[in-house]
Amino acid sequence: MTSPFDLSGKRAFVTGANTGIGQGIAVALAEAGAQVACVGRSSMAATRAMIAGSGGVSSEHRVDLADMDAAVAAFEAAAKDKGPFDILVNNAGIIRRADAVDFSESDWDDVIDVNLKTAFFLSKAFGSAAIADDRHGAIVNIASVLTFQGGIRVASYTASKHGMAGITRLLACEWAAKDVNVNAIAPGYIVTNNTAALRADEDRSAAILGRIPAGRWGAPSDIGGAAVFLASDAARYVHGAILPVDGGWLAR
């Protein structure tokens, strides 16, 4: 009997797959059988080597995801070249840190453009194609525990992750009846480039770790299983969910 978590024959488009959470998701999807298009502006060599090492198949697509038009063009070109995508993972994200009274317009715009604007218009391109072809599709957005909290010194990041929840729910309401699943994962404190500043601050890092019931920072691979679930047939009746994967952070 075929597992409902089996992604064999599926094609996935994963943004920000060069490192961190995106890398963990790309590898997990490939291990579940999907062919993975690794997308971002940096080399995907490390991610693709991990995928190849587990017998998976991947491709690399270099694009600056801050440029929405270029991102959508890359998605459409990849779909035209190898066939339509069944899975979209909107993972790419950046962060800027400053007190609200010092926060600049450029730091606001840069984060919103990558984290929210590009994610929405990639979703539009993906959903439009799936609906036009009468195909099932699954979108997995990467939210954050700051989707539910305010955070400190990360105004545009917090706004973008609150916005990701809204977009996830809106698209789920519009597309659930059209056989397109739209859900999100809210990672907790994961060892990535975006959390390097927090982990370098001994007091802040200790305070964060002290609140996590699991007793450790998360690893990118911890997010992979949740992404496989939400992308798979096991989640066909899951729409508009935001799944925390946070070691219990929000439970405390």
Domain borders along the chain are 11-190+220-244
Catalytic residue among 13, 75, 126, 157: 157
In this prediction, residue 1 carries a pLDDT of 60
How far apart are the C-alpha atoms of 168 and 141, rounded to whole Å? 7
Count Cβ atoms below 10 Å from residue 28 Cβ, excluding itself: 27
In this prediction, residue 41 carries a pLDDT of 93
Active site includes 157? Answer: yes
In this prediction, residue 193 carries a pLDDT of 83
User: Which amino acid belongs to residue 216?
Assistant: R
Contact 88, 181 (CB under 8 A): no
Residue-wise pLDDT tens digits, 2-15 = 899 999 999 999 99
User: Which amino acid belongs to residue 52?
Assistant: A
Q: Which CATH architecture has domain 11-190+220-244?
A: 3-Layer(aba) Sandwich (3.40)
pTM, two decimals, is 0.95
Q: Give every residue of the chain whose pLDDT is below 70, as ranges.
A: 1
